[in-house]
Amino acid sequence: MYLDYDLSSIQEARVLARKAKQAQLTLENYSEEEIDKILVAMVKAVEDNAEWLARMAVDETKYGVFEHKVIKNLFASREIYNSTKDIKTIGVIKEDQDQKVVEVAVPMGVIMGIVPTTNPTSTIIHNTLCSVKGANTIVFSPHPNAVKCSNAAVQLLHDAAVNAGAPEGLVGCVTKTSMKATEELMHHDDISVIVATGGSAMVKAAYSAGKPAFGVGPGNVPAFIERTADIKQAVTDIVTSKTFDNGMICASEQAILADEPIKEEIITELKSQGCYFLNPEETEKVAKTVLTPRGGLNPAMVGKSPKFIAEKAGITIPAETCLLVAPLDGHGTDHPLAHEKLSPVLGFYTVKDWKEACHLSIELLNLGGIGHSFSIHSQNEEVIREFIRKPVFRILVNTPSALGGIGYTTGLTPSMTLGCGTWGGSSISENLGPQHLINIKRLAYGIKKADTKVSENKSCDPSFSSDDIASIVKKVLHQLQKAQ
């Protein structure tokens, strides 16, 4: 029975890839206006069904907050479309009159999307819009715990696109999930590129498939509250970010680094906004609950509420608690909560100054967030600029980190797929957009004559004689002696 299911899932993957390839060969001949009509139709479908998709995702995965998943769905459709609609991805996209080079966009082909259980519908929406924008088609391999909501999102997008004139099969999704089906898609000849949003193991597998791939590394975002910060606003931003969808966005804060002179004010403000500070015994219990003995995330605790986590940990917290805060004094194996948690649990450190914050932030990032994001709250521009040197590609200033990282509250490209550059094992260091899912061919005219003739007075002998070289050496030695 297991073997039959496995074979069936592989066959489904093959059929989806072939259909997507046929659709892509048709779609690549569409004009920019025809592509835009399809995109608008898909966005409208999501807007009309954002709540339904959010409810389905929460009910199936048991992760996150319904209202916040609605926002994510709308962000992944409306905001993504509005931010990318003017990007040229069809036909001639640039012409340099001086250098006489014409750039022409060419579709990559069929994209494979690997979908996480944390953002099962919004990731599909975002990746579909980015793919179709460049006249690509896409096939998704969803997380086993989010098959129904992922397929619902795909079917919604597919039907809206086809009704707007798109070819059948431009977006598809595996319904019989298995590792074999995912591997089949990764290695299928009709798949051109992989977009992997998920755990480190899956992203690594995508990069090992022998195809171009875009992967997302883990985040372990430190949030430094520097002494010149607006403390109330900084805490508000962090609470807003860390409670959004119960902390499941990878750019959400994982630890506060409190500047020592304002430490007590920060603690007071955190408590006033509903944060519960764990004592050492409670910290140990929560650590054992949200993380596995090997230090990995406990899937059963990802995206759960503080109340749920506290009950499982066997501790009592006030009913109005929005975040669990764990004071920490280290970041090694003895301090598991120094790692990424993807839940409303936040580490808390005290640092003497911004220099110590720099050092500690690097240590925390090296635990599993290198290349991703760093957050700082400060009014001192000189201190802020010092953190440009840190090993991350998103330095988020005076903003909720989760929402700033995805481009919701900042000027970054709105995206649900955040590249971590070579430091984090990613092929891109910015937020993924449609511009990454096109090839660019170049038409280059000759602008200067090729001079390949050898002077008649020169031969293959060296240009300098031995006497010439000796004279030059003598002059250099003389100048050195004068300098001394």
Q: Which residues are catalytic?
A: 250
Structure tokens at 199: 């755990």
| Per-residue exposure over 203-217, b if at least 16 CB sit within 10 Å of its own CB, e if not | bebbbebeeebbbbb
Compute the distance between CA of residue 166 and CA of residue 20 in angstroms, rounded to an integer. 12
Compute the distance between CA of residue 98 and CA of residue 444 in angstroms, rounded to an integer. 11
Compute the distance between CA of residue 484 and CA of residue 470 in angstroms, rounded to an integer. 22
**Count of Cβ atoms closer than 10 Å to residue 123 Cβ:** 30
The HSE-up count of residue 21 (CA atoms within 13 Å, CB side) is 13
Question: Minimal CA–CA distance to 253: which of 354, 340, 380?
Answer: 340
Helix, strand, coil distribution of the chain in percent, nearest 5:
45, 15, 35
461 Ramachandran zone, left/alpha/beta (phi>0; psi -120 to 50) = beta
Structure tokens at 16: 């989806």
C-beta separation of 196 from 206 below 8 A:
yes
415 Cβ partners below 8 Å, 6+ apart?
80, 126, 406, 407, 431, 432, 433
Structure tokens at 391: 């090993």
SS3 at position 66 = helix
> Parallel, antiparallel, or unpaired: how do β-strands 323-327 and 110-114 relate?
unpaired
Compute the distance between CA of residue 460 and CA of residue 404 in angstroms, rounded to an integer. 62
C-beta separation of 387 from 292 below 8 A:
no
The residue behind tokens 């996480």 is 116
Annotate 282-296 with DSSP letters as a single string: HHHHHHHHHB-TTS-
C-beta separation of 416 from 119 below 8 A:
yes
